[in-house]
Structure formats: C-alpha cells, structure tokens
Chains A and B, each alone.
Chain A
Amino acid sequence: MDLILVGLSHKTAPIEVRERIFFPEKHLPTALQRLQAESDLSEGMIVSTCNRVEILVHGDRGYFQIVEAVKNFLYSYHALSRPFLENYLYSHLRQDAVNHLFRVASSLDSMVVGEPQILAQVKRAYSLACQAGSVGRHLGDLIPRAFFVAKKVRTSTRIGAAAVSVSSVAIELARKILGDLENKSVLFMGAGKMSTLAAKHLSDAGIQNIYVANRTPERSEKMAAQFSGQAVPFEDRFSYVIRADIVLVSTGSDSFILTKSEVEGIIKKRKYRPLFIIDISVPRNVDPAVNELENVFVYDIDDLQSVIDANIRQRQQEAVIAEDIVVEEVSNYIKQASRRSVGPLASLLRSRIEEMCLEDLKERRHQLPDEEYQRMEKMLKKTAHKIAHPLITQLRESDDSPGHRLYKIEMFKKMFRLDEDS
C-alpha cells in the first residue's frame, strides 16, 4: 500500500535519453493500461513532456517491488536496456513523492522556473489517466491537490511575473518606461524579418500607432500595410522620432544611424517625454552614448539579455518563498491523509483482533453448551478490546510527524494483515 513516483527529468537525464522514453499523448491510454496490468498496480498516472517523464503510482506491494515493476515497465515499453536507463531514474516514496509532485506542478522543478506550461501538462496527464480508468481513490485525491498548491504558489508569489524571453522583456521594459501601451506609438527603422516579428509582438501588446521607415520604400509599405501602420520616408525618420514613444532599430547598416547629438536635439522637442529605443541590429545601429541622455533608454540585444538574466534570478528568489509553501502544503496533505486513514483502520484493527481471539472458540462452537459459549465469547471480546485499545491509542497519537505516522499505519497494516479495500 504505497504511493511511489518514478521518473527522470532534465535535471537527471540528457535529451538523448529523454527523447527515448517520451510517451506521445495518443499512446498514453494504452501505456497506462499496460502499466496497470503488467506492474499489478491499483492506480497510475504518466506525465510525459519534453523535459520530464514521471510515473506516479499507487500499489499494494512494497516499495522496492513497485519501483522495480515500474522500471521494468519502462524498459519493456520502450525496449530499452536496464543499464541504459537505470542511472537516470529517480524514485520517491510517499511524502517525498507528494513533495515532488507538488514541486513539479508548481513549476519549481522546471528548466525555466515559474513557466506556466507544466501545470497544464500535468492537468492533461491527469485527465487522460482519468479517462483510461487508472485513477482511483488515492491519486484522485492527491493530484487535484497538486493543482491547488500550484495555483496558490502562482497567486501568492511572483514566480511567473518577470519576463524571460527577448520579446517579452522588451514589452515589459516598454511598460515600465511608458506605462500602458495602448495609445503609444512605435517607429520601426528597418523593415526586415526581425522588425516584422517585433511589430507582431508589440501590436499584440496593444500598440496601435505604427510607423515604418525603411531605405527601400516598397518594403516599408508592405510591412506598414500588414500592421495597418504608416510608411514614412527614411529621410524623415527624425521627425517621427519626436512623435514616437518606442523606436525599434533593425537595419543592415554597419554604422550608427542614431547618434547622441541627433537624439539630443530631438528630446528637447519631445519635452523630455520618455523615449525607449530598442536596437536589435548587429552591428549596433544606435550609439550607446544615446542612453546617457535624460529620459532616453537604449537597449541593445545584450542589454535585453542581461534583463532576462536578472529576471531569472528574481524568479529564483521567488522560488525560495514558493518552496516554503510547498513544504507546508505537503505536510498538510500528509496529515489529512493519515488522519483520514486512521478512522477506518482503527475499526478494522478492532474487528481483526476480535476475530483472532474468537477464532479457536468458534471452532469449538458445537462442543460447548450455549450458555458456556456465550460467557466465553463475552470474555474473549473483552480481552480483544483490551488488546486493541492501546494499539488504537498508539495509532491515533497525534504528536508524531506526519511521515512517521504514515509509516506506522503501514506497519500496522502489515502486522495485522489489514486491507481497507477488502
């Protein structure tokens, strides 16, 4: 009777290994059925993404047998040899399995900490397992709990708040400098592939006024049409810098096309309204010295990357807070689970002991007179009660750690051959 998690992730296995034990979604239902049948497990779920494969199971046998069974299933399903896979796999028992599941769902174990996809992937895996009929009482109770914890982590920390890709960082910075982007305008210098891509991100972020200046007017007109913007002559670009809030520069020029003295003249005409210049061209097209001007912010591609790095560190800081939440929730869950299983277990234990005490008497039922039999039965029942009482008290003892308590429950189940499901 144990909850066990076996799996591997980007932390333990390289892509060459991960790609070989990946379960495509359409094969998952049959895989789940095979897992249940071959490994003799009562419940199971398989989470398979490009960064991890995790198999969470609940079975009636001991820890080592279940782990072996799941591993054997993996070897045989993917036709892999044991030595190839063995070293990459980890396994977690009970409390550790709950902890691992909660951390994975909360995106604390992800390659980019705080990324939101993993929760959706776990949810998908859960619904597939439900459909395949491999989710029972135990997993059906535990896994939705993981979703709750993930949501709690997301709302009470800022783990997913900071942007970690180039385009999202550029938009985050634009919002920091300019506020709401809705009524802001952007000037593109250069109408190449990178500009078009950036225009898509910016218009998705709500920017409506788009100007495009390119040396070849045909291309700027084509790009302007695509985003219902306005193509402007390349020679007039400076007068549009006065109007724009964001200037995105991406041309093939090998010299600066915006210099400090040029921009200096412009910012006065802008009345020092903030100006955000993004220079994604290599070699750079905007003189870095422009950044020294008041209320002008120039970011080249390396600067954007350094903000990404800082944001990743920020997410890691938030992850520390999130880990505390997970630890607390794991202990809550284990406490609840053990409390829930003590009740039925206690009555099972009581009747089991009673059964043991009365066993011999019942065999001699016909040898004894009725009166004698009833007297002895009453006495033995009392004895059974006396034996059971301290054991149940011990089981109910609440100052144990939740993990220890679960262990005790398992011990009792084994000693007295108690099976809740029967």
Chain B
Amino acid sequence: MSALLFNSAFGFYVVGLFHSVAAFVSKKDLFHKIAFASVGIGFFLHSSFLVYRGVEIAHLPLTDLKEALAFFAWTVSLCFFISHMRYRIKPLGIFLLPLVTALMLGTIFFKSSPVPEILRSSWIYWHTICLFLAYGMFFMTFIASLLYLFQERELKGKKPKTFYYWLPSQVLLDDLFYKMLISGFCFMTLGLLAGVIWAEQDWVQGWQGDPKVIAALVTWAIYLILIYLRLTAGWRGKRAALISMAGFLSILFTFLGARYLGGLHTFQ
C-alpha cells in the first residue's frame, strides 16, 4: 500500500513536470492547469504515503537516505504549493519539479533499513522536519532569485522575450525570495538547535566535530550573511542569486556529500 501511494505520487509529479514543460513551450494555459492539478494530487498522495508509512513503522519515515530523499521532495513540493497559491508564478513548476522528480527517482537506488536505535528520540522530529523544511525553502529562495535575475536581464536589455511575459513584478519575486529566505533561516536555526539539544541529552560524544554538523553550520553562516547584506546593503538581483546558489550547493553537500566523510550522521 505504501509503495502504491509512493509510486502514484511519483507518477503524478512526472505528469506535472511534463505539462509544465509543455506549458512553457506551447504557452497554453491549459497545460499549466493540468500541471498544477497533477502536482496537487501527487502532493496529496505523497502526504498520505508519509502518514501511512509513519503509522506502519511507528516512527517518522525519515530514518534512512531513501526516506530522507522522499521527505526532501515532499518539502520542495510543499513550498511549490504555498508559493503557487500565494504568488501565481507560472514558470515555478519548470524549475521545482525537476528537483522533486529527481529526488523521488533517487529513492529507488537505496534500500529501506530498520530504524536505528539512536533515532528513537522525539527530538529527531524537530531536528529533521525543521531542517528539511529549511532546505525546501532555501531551494525556493534560490529559484526566486534566479527568476528575478532572468527578468532583470530582459528589463535591462529592453528586449522582453520570455520571462517578461511570464513572471509577476520584480517586487513580488523579491518578496517571495525574502520570505522564503527568512522562514528557511528560522527553520534551519530551530532544526540545528534541536540537534544540539538532542546530542547533549543523549550524551553523544564529539558531535561538534561531525562533518555534517560543520557543513550545516557553514550553510547556516552563508544564509546569515545573505540576510545581513540584504538588510544593511539591500542586496538583491545578481549578487543575491549567486549567494543563494552557493547556499543551496552547500545544502546539497551537507545533505549528500558529508555522509561520505563519515561521522555521526552516516546512516544507510
């Protein structure tokens, strides 16, 4: 049952991706509606999968890499959903859905494993959920700054082509960027704090030197700098896009790369 839910969610995401591309190429609104509807159904099925699987293993389904990838995909499509409802930015799907599908696809390369004993703690809920929400929001931040950049290029070049006709105003894109940045940062801070408390409570030795912890702190610092520059010097456009791209690469490294360096966070 859980496999069925998961696979059909994946299927709907793929349908959504194809229709987003079709909408982008053909400029027909109908494809947009189909894309959005499929992502909506996919998201619903994906959420049902998480609940079902959670009840099945009596734990948050976020204990191995397979589940982590799926959960990451879920937070990204959650952010897509929220942003779409609030901002109606048409080309969002074409940028977000490839990541969602790639993450979902990635899960087939990993096997499920039993829940390790160390994860039997309520802090994991706070630690992981907050961090993954932050990751999803930071990805959104990156995409928003990219779209801002694309439209800025057309505005500066005085030759509107694609994005000018597809995107809302720069102010709105900037608003999305800023809100996602701030809320992502809050969630990341909460997630990291939860991790620290968890480690201290369970007397985990040497968590300060764990590669993933260090990578996460670097990521956190990058976004802190971005917020600081935004507030003091009003950074947006190209510079903000570059930093948020660096931040997102750092997230990917934290998420996928750091596990090869060993440490406390190496699970299956």
**Bitwise interface map of B from 233 to 267 toward A, beta carbon under 8 Å scored 1, else 0:** 11111100000000000000000000000000000
Best-buried of A270, A273, A294, A299 by chain B (most CB within 10 Å): A294
| A residues less than 8 Å from B234 (CB atoms) | 270-273
Return the contact of A156 from the options B29, B164, B235, B238 (Cβ within 8 A).
Answer: B29
B238 contacts across to A, CB distance below 8 A:
294
Q: Is A321 among interface residues, defined by CB-CB distance under 8 A?
A: yes
Q: Complex formed: what's the CA distance from A34 to B171 in Å?
A: 59
A274: nearest chain-B partner, CB-CB: B170
In chain B between 138 and 163, which residues have their CB closer than 8 angstroms to a CB of chain A?
151, 155-156, 158-161
- In this assembly, does A332 line the interface, its C-beta being within 8 Å of a C-beta of chain B? no
CB of A166 closer than 8 Å to a CB of B:
no
Is B172's beta carbon under 8 Å from chain A?
yes
Task: For the complex, give the distance between the alpha carbons of A273 and B158 in Å.
Answer: 19
Q: Is B165 an interface residue (CB 8 A)?
A: yes
Known interface pairs A156-B29, A297-B155; A272-B160 also in contact (CB < 8 Å): no
B183 lies within 8 A of chain A by Cβ: no
B238 closest partner in A (C-beta): A294
- Assess the A175–B169 pair: CB atoms within 8 A: yes
With a CB–CB cut-off of 8 A, which chain A residues contact B235? Answer: 272
Does A295 interact with chain B (Cβ within 8 Å)?
Answer: yes
Q: Which residues of A contact B169 (CB under 8 A)?
A: 175-180
Asked if A307 meets B160 with Cβ closer than 8 Å, knowing A162-B165, A294-B237, the reply is yes
User: Does A310 count as interface, using CB distance less than 8 angstroms?
Assistant: yes
Count A-B pairs with CB separation below 8 Å.
60
Check B158–A177 contact: CB distance below 8 A.
Answer: no
Give the most central of A158, A179, A306, A317: most B CB within 10 Å: A179
Q: Chain B binding site: helix, strand, loop or mixed by DSSP?
A: helix
What 1/0 mask marks residues of chain B from 168 to 199 whose CB sits below 8 Å from any chain A CB?
01111000000000000000000000000000
Q: Is the CB of A314 within 8 A of B170?
A: no
Residues in A whose Cβ lies below 8 Å from that of B233:
271-272
Contact with B along A152-188 (1 / 0, CB 8 A): 0000111001100000000001011111100000000
Could you tell me if B170 and A158 are in contact, using CB atoms closer than 8 angstroms?
no
Q: In the docked arrangement, what's the CA distance between A323 and B184, Å?
A: 45
Q: A311 at the A/B interface (Cβ < 8 Å)?
A: yes
Q: How far is the CA of A273 from the CA of B238 in the complex (A)?
A: 14
- The yes or no answer to A291 lying at the interface (CB within 8 A) is yes
Q: A272-B235, A272-B236 are in contact. Are A179 and B172 (CB under 8 A)?
A: yes
Q: Are A176 and B29 in contact (CB under 8 A)?
A: no
Number of interface residues of B (CB under 8 A): 22
A52-90, CB under 8 A of B: which get 1 and which 0? 000000000000000000000000000000000000000
Is B88 in contact with chain A by the CB < 8 A criterion? no
Confirm or deny: A19 has a beta carbon within 8 angstroms of a beta carbon on chain B.
Answer: no
Tell me, yes or no, whether B120 is within 8 Å of chain A by CB: no
Q: B38-81 vs A: 1/0 string, CB under 8 Å?
A: 00000000000000000000000000000000000000000000
Give the shortest distance, in Å, between B196 (CB) and chain A (any CB): 35
| B residues in contact with A306, CB < 8 Å | 158-159
| B159 close to A321 (CB less than 8 A) | no
Contact of B158 among A179, A307, A311 (CB under 8 A): A307
Contact A176 B236 (CB under 8 A): no
Tell me, yes or no, whether A303 is within 8 Å of chain B by CB. yes
- Docked complex Cα distance between A307 and B235 (Å): 27
Residues in A neighbouring B171, C-beta threshold 8 A? 177-180, 274
Cα distance A272–B237 in the bound complex, in angstroms:
10
A292 → chain B closest CB, angstroms? 8
Q: How far does the alpha carbon of A78 sit from the alpha carbon of B116 in the complex, in Å? A: 94
Residues from chain A with Cβ under 8 Å of B236 in the complex: 272, 295
Find out whether the CB atom of B28 lies under 8 angstroms from the CB atom of A297: no
Q: Is the CB of B27 within 8 A of A303?
A: no
Contact string, A259-301, partner B, CB cutoff 8 A, digits 1/0?
0000000000011111000000000000000010011010100
- Provided the pairs A162-B165, A272-B233, A272-B235 are in contact, do residues A177 and B172 lie with their beta carbons within 8 angstroms? no
Cβ A310 vs Cβ B160 within 8 A: yes
In the complex, which residue of chain A has the Cβ closest to the Cβ of B28? Answer: A321
B158:A299 contact, CB within 8 angstroms? yes
Question: Which residues of chain B in 206-255 are interfacial with respect to chain A, using CB atoms and an 8 Å cutoff?
Answer: 233-238
Contact indicator per residue, chain A 293-337, by CB within 8 Å of chain B (1) or not (0):
011010100010011001100100110010000000000000000
Bound Cα distance A162, B161 (Å) = 12
Verify B28–A158 contact, CB threshold 8 A. no
Q: Which residues of A contact B170 (CB under 8 A)?
A: 176-179, 274
Q: Tell me, in angstroms, the Cα distance from A318 to B166 when the chains sit together.
A: 13
Per the bound structure, the CA–CA distance linking A162 and B237 in Å amounts to: 24
C-alpha spacing A191/B141, complex, angstroms: 42
How far is the CB of A20 from the nearest CB of chain B, in Å?
A: 40
| A-chain residues with CB within 8 Å of residue B27 when the two chains form the complex | 317-318, 321
| Most central of B159, B161, B164 by chain A CB within 10 Å | B164
Q: Within residues 339 to 392 of chain A, which ones have a CB less than 8 A from any CB in chain B?
A: none
CB closest residue in chain A, given B162:
A314
Nearest residue (CB) in B for A169 is B160
Contact check: which of B28, B161, B172, B237 meets A310 at CB < 8 Å?
A: B161
Contact (A291, B159) CB under 8 Å given A177-B169, A273-B234, A274-B170? no
How far is it, in angstroms, between the C-alpha of A299 and the C-alpha of B154 when the chains are bound?
Answer: 13
Is B151 a contact partner of A297 (Cβ separation < 8 A)?
Answer: no
With A307-B158, A310-B159 as given contacts, are A176 and B237 in contact (CB-CB < 8 Å)? Answer: no
Check if B155 sits within 8 Å of A303, measured CB to CB: no
Please report the C-alpha to C-alpha distance between residue A295 and residue B169 in the assembled complex, in whole angstroms.
13
CB distance from B194 to the nearest CB of A (A): 35
CB distance from B223 to the nearest CB of A (A): 19
20 new A-B contacts, CB < 8 A, other than A295-B236, A318-B27, are A157-B29, A162-B165, A173-B155, A176-B151, A177-B155, A177-B169, A177-B170, A178-B169, A180-B171, A270-B234, A272-B235, A272-B237, A274-B170, A297-B156, A306-B159, A307-B158, A307-B160, A310-B161, A314-B160, A317-B27
Closest 8 CB pairs of A and B: A179-B171, A271-B234, A272-B234, A179-B169, A303-B158, A310-B160, A176-B169, A177-B170
Please name 7 pairs of A and B residues whose Cβ atoms are closer than 8 Å in the assembled complex, sorted by A.
Answer: A156-B29, A295-B236, A306-B158, A310-B159, A310-B160, A314-B160, A321-B28
